[in-house]
Each structure stands twice: as C-alpha cells, then as structure tokens.
C-alpha cells in the first residue's frame, strides 16, 4: 500500500461565504485526494468545537489559519508516513493528539479534514469508489442502495427570516420510487413552487441553505403552499410524495414553553405533542426532526410512541453527547431515527462506531448535511456505503447541495447499469404515413398547464420597511430594520490567540507531470516562530505500487489490537437492518417495492481479515468513547 507523503491544507469558503478547511493528501505513489469540511450556524454546549481564529479584524473572527497551522506543525509530523488504509490508527492518533472530549485543542474541523481525506485516499489506493470501499471495509450493510432523500424546500426559523417557526419544510418522494425518478419529481416541484410563490406576490429569496424563505405568516401557510404546489404538478401527496419537517424546537422554546406564531397561547410539551399529531394527519408528514428540546424527554417518548410506527422521529441535537446520548435515547425510546453528521464526531472511525451501535439498537440512519456545506460530495458516498435509510442535503438549487445529489445520481447508474430512462414518446421520430404524422402532431400539442387556484388559507406578511437616515460623513446608517430574532444563537467555538501566518507545508508536487519527492520517514517539523514559519521536509517519490483493481489487502494491518469489547457482526448478513416505517399509501402502487433491484455489493476479498480489522476498530473506538 502507498503511504501518506504530504498534507497540504488551505483556507476556502463554504456555501455561505464563511471560511473552512480544504485539504489535499498526497501519497508516495504520486496519487492525491482533496476533501473539505463543513461548518454549521447552530452551536451546542454538548457538541464538538471547531477551530476558528477568533480574530475579529479578519473574516469576522471565522478564519481558519490557526487550524492550518495545527495541521502543518502538530498533525503532519505524526500522520506523514502512515498507511491511509489504517483508518483506526490515523483517527486514534488524532484523538490522542487532541486529548479533550470536545476537540477544543485541535478542533473537530481540523481532525475531520485528515480523517475524511484518509478514507478517500484508501479508496483510491484500492481503485474503488468511496461508497464501495466503505461497504467492504466496515460491512454495515450487505447491499448497496441509494437512500430515500429528504429534500428541504422552504426555510424558516434560523434558516430563513424567522417568520416561520419551523426550520425546514421538506418533501420526500415515496420509497417505491427509484432515485432518478425521485430527483425528477422534486426538481419539478421546486420549479413549480417558485412559480406559485411569484403568482402570490410572495418573496422568493432563499435562506442560508438555499430553501425558499417567503414572507408567510405561519407554519400552516407553508404547508398549504406546498400542498397547492404539488397539486399543480402531475404528482399526488401520499402517493408520490410526503412531507417532513425539521422543527429546530430550541428556536421557539422559551421559559419551558413553546411559542408558535399561529397559536394564541404558549404550548406545554404535551400540547406540542398534540400539535404534531394534528399536522401529521392533515399534511401527510412522515419525518419529524428535533420536535422538542433535549430536556423534554417525556414528550420525545410520547411522540415516538404515538407516531413512531409510520413516522420517523429523528434526533439530531438530542444526540450531540455521542454514545452516551444514544444509549439514553435507546433505553427510554425517545426516537426511532438518528441524524448522523461526521462533524459531530470529528473522525470517521467514531462516526462509523456510532452508526454501528445505532443500527444494533434498531434505529434508522439519516446522513445529513450542515448549513455551511462545500462542493465536496463525500457525504453522498458515505450515506450509500454505510447503508443509511435516508439522507438530506438541502434543496436542489445550490451548488454545494446539487454536487451531492448529482453524485448520488452517478452512483445510482453505477449500481443499476441496465436502468433505462423513460423517453417522452412525443419527442421520438420515425417514418410514418401522412395520417400518422397528423395524429402525432395533434398529440404533441401540450396540455394546458394546471391553474393555481387562490388559497384563502395562505396569508403573506407585508415586506419589512427599512428606514435609512441621510448620509452623514460618508456613513450610511440603517435605522430599525424591524426584524427580530426572538432566540438568537450564540457562536460556540474555540477562540485561540490571533492567527499567525500559517506554517508553510512541503512544496506541493505537480501531479501528474512530475511525481512528488518521497517523504523521509524520519522527517520532523518544528513549530513556527513569528520570524520563520516551519517547513515540512521534502521527500522523493517511491515507485508506484500495482494492485488489482478490486483487491483489498487486510485493512489497518499492524494496528495495535485493543482489548475486546462489544462484538461486531461477524458477517455481512449479520449487519443489523433497521425497519423503515413507510406510511400506507392511498394508492396501491405506492406500497409496492422499487422496480429496480439494488445491485449486489462488490465481492469482498479476504473478508475474514477485514472483519477482524472491523472488530478491532469498533472495539478500540468503543473503549475510547467509554473513557
């Protein structure tokens, strides 16, 4: 196997224009991979800490130059020379270097960039796509399929203009439809939604993740707009599509009560359970994320008991405590679905361990984006490779979101090489008689578009009036925006000293024209001084190794074997399969299984050795987490 030769970190911008980390990992055979990590607008005391500069004079304090220095001066000397397939050893090295529970020393973003790049490099070394490599290495699923996608189309609360209480209003294609058809349906609904909002004179600006953020009065208005939009297409609610919501309930929770704009009085947790039951029945909602704050565990349990058979009650912020939170949620039956974000764990090994334990607890898995995404499509491969039942990457109009949906589309065609896209018969041409040509011409006349009828239930807020005072000394002062955030979220992030100039990494190789010089195994990198940044040692390239395209040698071979802990599945078929609650369709066809049979996973090579390594990684990670 090739070894890691160099790490080249850099500061880039995420989809919101906020700095984040991109990292290129070079191998000593001349190959390289590049990955980037995400940011999030929401923070939690229980969550991992991202390393940001905290220097308000630059990038509003959100720069990541300190994180880049950490990679160059602290992490690189320990990682260079390692085998990228030794994922557990790489991740354990990162965890030990940090030495804190919330990753405040190195930063979860810093650590994840290394861990994520290692997965990509290992897959490349084995000449496998990332999703196939993950499936063969960790055996969390015995077949590869595209997860059901939760598309967020309307943004409210912290994602929008705070005029709507709920954070996301989502549309989910029926589970009997293949991914290509699902994407087609959602794209159609997205386009029709924009037309619908414009026809009402509503604002069609978008929120921070790309969903429409119209000037609606209440949650009910958003549901009604989605319903009439779906009716204006050729698709039907509860047959072709269903609805979902990301509540982000902490945004409308205050003084132990929940305050909704379309409800006259503040609601108790028990009242909110009833509210969710009502809108679930009225609007065919099958996905409810973060319906309550963490402390209202009884309400979580009550809602899961009441709706869990047909609805995914998904926990995101509730599980930021990691394995302990998952154990509590499982024992108390607080939810039936867990939202998985690698950034919540800082390494891929810890993320895989969490997914494995959640599956053992019969939880469903939703692999999720964050608000500050990049064009990296790693999450798409990760969702397929671990066998997630669902995934959510936002709407279908932002490059950093679409990159993941398009990657899933490519994976879909790789897994279903015989899949044929239906061709509109009106567009086909062939020789025919004059009578047939006349009939075809008549048939080609498009049908009149469905008319959107006025909906008296939907009310719009008047646009906010902005008063601007006269220019004074070249300064324009904005007076009273009349826009209030009833529950602003503090930014919880590490605030180290002002950033220094990043330590310069080794000279970047120029692949593929000239292979990089090989790294000397004894190279050391000293911490930079203000006058002279540290320079990682250069190296000479090794002769590229040749491997069979699908050959997987024992993975992470040579890693220290931890003491035995919980036993992992011993075969692919032993991997737990979480039940997938699907609402009963009003149409018989909606309940039928997908027409396309998922492709079998690529044949595993040396599966016993791989399984032993999986046991080592899971056990070692569990021990570290239990400590």
The confidence score (pLDDT) of residue 157 equals: 87
pLDDT over 70, % of the chain: 66
The confidence score (pLDDT) of residue 419 equals: 84
Position 435 pLDDT exceeds 90? no
User: Which pLDDT band holds residue 627 (cuts at 50, 70, 90)?
Assistant: low
Q: Identify the residue with better confidence: 454 or 552.
A: 454
pLDDT over 90, % of the chain: 61
The whole model's pTM is what? 0.74
Position 119 pLDDT exceeds 80? yes
Average pLDDT over residues 311-326: 94
The confidence score (pLDDT) of residue 33 equals: 98
Q: What is the mean pLDDT of the chain?
A: 79
Average pLDDT over residues 304-309: 97
The confidence score (pLDDT) of residue 597 equals: 40
Q: What is the 3-state secondary structure (H, E, C) of 197-222?
A: HHHCCCCCCECCCCCECCCECCHHHH
Where is average pLDDT lowest: 228-232, 297-301, 333-337, 623-627? 623-627
Position 482 pLDDT exceeds 90? no
- Is 271 exposed, middle or buried, given 0-12, 13-18 or 19+ CB atoms closer than 10 A? middle
Domain boundaries, the chain: 4-128+493-559+609-615
- Residue 151 CB coordination number (10 Å): 26
User: Which pLDDT band holds residue 39 (cuts at 50, 70, 90)?
Assistant: confident
User: Which pLDDT band holds residue 472 (cuts at 50, 70, 90)?
Assistant: very low
Architecture in CATH of 4-128+493-559+609-615: 2-Layer Sandwich (3.30)
d(CA 412, CA 178): 9
**pLDDT per residue as tens digits for the range 164-210:** 999 999 999 999 999 999 999 999 999 999 999 999 999 999 998 99
Position 615 pLDDT exceeds 80? no
Average pLDDT over residues 212-220: 92
3-state secondary structure of 167: coil
d(CA 607, CA 353): 19
The confidence score (pLDDT) of residue 618 equals: 64
The confidence score (pLDDT) of residue 70 equals: 98
Position 314 pLDDT exceeds 90? yes
Position 60 pLDDT exceeds 60? yes
The confidence score (pLDDT) of residue 43 equals: 57
d(CA 19, CA 22): 10
d(CA 336, CA 243): 18
Angle between helices 87-98 and 108-125 (to 10 degrees): 170
User: Which pLDDT band holds residue 493 (cuts at 50, 70, 90)?
Assistant: very low
What's the DSSP call for residue 309? Answer: T
- Is 361 exposed, middle or buried, given 0-12, 13-18 or 19+ CB atoms closer than 10 A? middle
């Amino acid at each position: 196997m090739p070894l890691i030769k160099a790490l080249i970190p850099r500061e880039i911008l995420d989809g919101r224009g906020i700095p984040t980390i991109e990292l290129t990992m070079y191998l000593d055979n001349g190959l390289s991979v590049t990955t980037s990590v995400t940011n999030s607008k929401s923070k939690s005391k229980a969550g991992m800490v991202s390393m940001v500069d905290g220097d308000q004079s630059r990038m509003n304090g959100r720069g990541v130059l300190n994180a880049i220095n950490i990679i160059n001066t602290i992490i690189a000397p320990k990682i260079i020379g390692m085998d990228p397939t030794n994922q557990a050893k790489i991740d354990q090295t990162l965890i030990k270097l940090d030495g804190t529970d919330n990753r405040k020393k190195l930063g979860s973003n810093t650590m994840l960039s290394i861990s994520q790049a290692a997965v990509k490099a290992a897959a490349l070394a084995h000449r496998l796509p990332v999703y196939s490599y993950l499936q063969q290495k960790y055996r969390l699923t015995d077949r590869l399929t595209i997860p059901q996608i939760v598309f967020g189309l309307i943004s409210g609360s912290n994602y929008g203009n705070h005029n709507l209480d709920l954070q996301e209003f989502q549309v989910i294609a029926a589970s009997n439809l293949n991914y290509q058809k699902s994407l087609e349906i959602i794209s159609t609904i997205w386009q029709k939604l924009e037309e619908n909002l414009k026809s009402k004179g509503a604002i069609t600006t978008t929120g921070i993740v790309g969903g429409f953020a119209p000037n609606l009065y209440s949650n009910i208005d958003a549901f009604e707009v989605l319903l009439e939009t779906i009716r204006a297409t050729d698709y039907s609610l509860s047959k072709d599509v269903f609805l979902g919501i990301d509540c982000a309930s902490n945004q409308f929770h205050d003084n132990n009560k929940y305050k909704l704009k379309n409800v006259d009085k503040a609601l108790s947790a028990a009242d909110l359970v009833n509210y969710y039951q009502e809108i679930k029945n009225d609007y065919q909602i099958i996905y409810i994320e973060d319906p309550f704050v963490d402390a209202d565990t009884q309400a979580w349990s009550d809602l899961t008991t009441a709706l869990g058979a047909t609805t995914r009650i998904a926990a995101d912020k509730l599980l930021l405590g990691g394995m302990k939170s998952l154990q509590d949620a499982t024992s108390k039956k607080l939810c039936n679905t867990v939202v998985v974000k690698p950034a919540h764990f800082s390494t891929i090994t810890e993320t895989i361990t969490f997914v494995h334990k959640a599956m053992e607890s019969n939880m469903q898995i939703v692999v999720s984006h964050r608000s500050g995404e990049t064009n990296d499509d790693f999450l798409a491969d990760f969702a397929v490779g671990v066998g997630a039942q669902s995934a959510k990457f936002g709407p279908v109009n932002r490059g950093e979101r679409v990159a993941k949906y398009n990657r899933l589309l490519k994976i879909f065609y790789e897994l279903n090489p015989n899949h044929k896209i239906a061709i509109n018969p009106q567009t086909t041409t062939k020789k025919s008689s004059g009578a047939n040509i006349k009939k075809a011409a008549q048939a080609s006349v498009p049908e009149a578009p469905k008319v959107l009828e006025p909906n008296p239930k939907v009310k719009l807020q008047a646009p906010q009036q902005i008063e601007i005072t006269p220019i004074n000394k070249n300064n324009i002062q904005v007076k009273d925006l009349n826009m209030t955030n009833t529950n602003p979220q503090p930014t919880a992030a590490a605030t180290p000293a002002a950033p220094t100039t990043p330590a310069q990494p080794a000279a970047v190789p120029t692949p593929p024209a000239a292979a990089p010089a090989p790294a000397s195994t004894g190279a050391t990198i000293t911490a930079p001084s203000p006058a002279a940044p540290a320079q990682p040692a250069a190296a000479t390239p090794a002769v590229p190794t040749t491997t069979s395209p699908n050959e997987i040698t024992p993975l992470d071979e040579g890693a220290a074997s931890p003491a035995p802990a919980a036993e992992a599945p011993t075969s692919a078929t032993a991997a737990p399969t979480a039940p997938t609650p699907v609402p009963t369709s009003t149409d018989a066809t909606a309940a039928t299984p997908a027409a396309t049979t998922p492709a079998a996973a690529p044949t595993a090579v040396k599966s016993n050795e791989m399984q032993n390594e999986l046991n080592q990684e899971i056990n070692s990670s569990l021990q570290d987490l239990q400590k």
